[in-house]
Structure 1
Amino acid sequence: MKTIEKIEKENISNLKFSKKEVLQDEMARRKRAFDLMRAQALGNLLRSKVTITFEDATEKIYQVSTTVWATGSEFVALKCNTYIPVNSILEVD
């Protein structure tokens, strides 16, 4: 297992992301989509934070605790005009 590094949402914009899909299993991708929609609802209705685990272009794994403002088919929008590509997200808790 790779080491997971904590990152502040303000520093995510300094990272580079790959176009590669990090989840190979179709059910895992469906669960991620469901979890992202749930995180968006929690963020907009209750201002609750979630933990997002994601991978950058160098395959380094990061974790951020943040509020999800919007979820699209390709990107997730966080506060401070920060975006994470959906295909880079490993897990949403």
Structure 2
Amino acid sequence: MHFPTTDVLQDKEEIAKRLSDLDKVTILGNGDHIKVELFFEDDSTKYRVDTTVWGVTDARVILKQGIVLPINRIYKIVY
């Protein structure tokens, strides 16, 4: 997958909500091992994955087995 550096979200409130949601699902993932749905896109395709979020850095989300996704490419989180 190739991830562009541009953000899939344009609205500042949506971007702030995404960060807040990532904080919440990280707690759910680490505490209760609860899976969430992440909707994201690379340079050509949209994806949905059911996963546990293990960590969040300034720019990336850390999933199982060390898989990382750029935060700026996530457009929806369902938990």
* Secondary structure of residue in 2 paired with 1:38: helix
* Secondary structure of residue in 2 paired with 1:22: coil
- What stretches of structure 1 of length at least 5 have no aligned partner? 1-14
Query: In structure 2, how many angstroms separate the alpha carbons of the residues matched to 1:86 and 1:62?
Result: 14
Per the TM alignment, residue 84 of structure 1 is displaced from its structure 2 partner at its CA by 0.3
Are residues 1:21 and 2:21 paired?
Answer: no
Give the root-mean-square deviation of aligned CA atoms: 0.6
Task: Specify the alignment match of 2:34 in structure 1.
Answer: 48
Are residues 1:62 and 2:61 paired?
Answer: no
Count of aligned pairs between the two proteins: 78
Per the TM alignment, residue 81 of structure 1 is displaced from its structure 2 partner at its CA by 1.2
Give aligned-pair identity as a percent.
37
1:12-50 CA-partner distances (Å, limit 9, x unpaired): xxx111101100000000000011000100000000000
Task: Specify the alignment match of 2:65 in structure 1.
Answer: 80
Instruction: Compute the TM-score of the two structures, normalised by the length of structure 1.
Output: 0.82
Query: In structure 1, how many angstroms separate the alpha carbons of the residues matched to 2:49 and 2:8?
Result: 17
Per the TM alignment, residue 66 of structure 1 is displaced from its structure 2 partner at its CA by 0.1
- What stretches of structure 2 of length at least 5 have no aligned partner? none
Per the TM alignment, residue 72 of structure 1 is displaced from its structure 2 partner at its CA by 1.2
Name segments (4+ residues, structure 1) moved above 3 Å. Answer: none
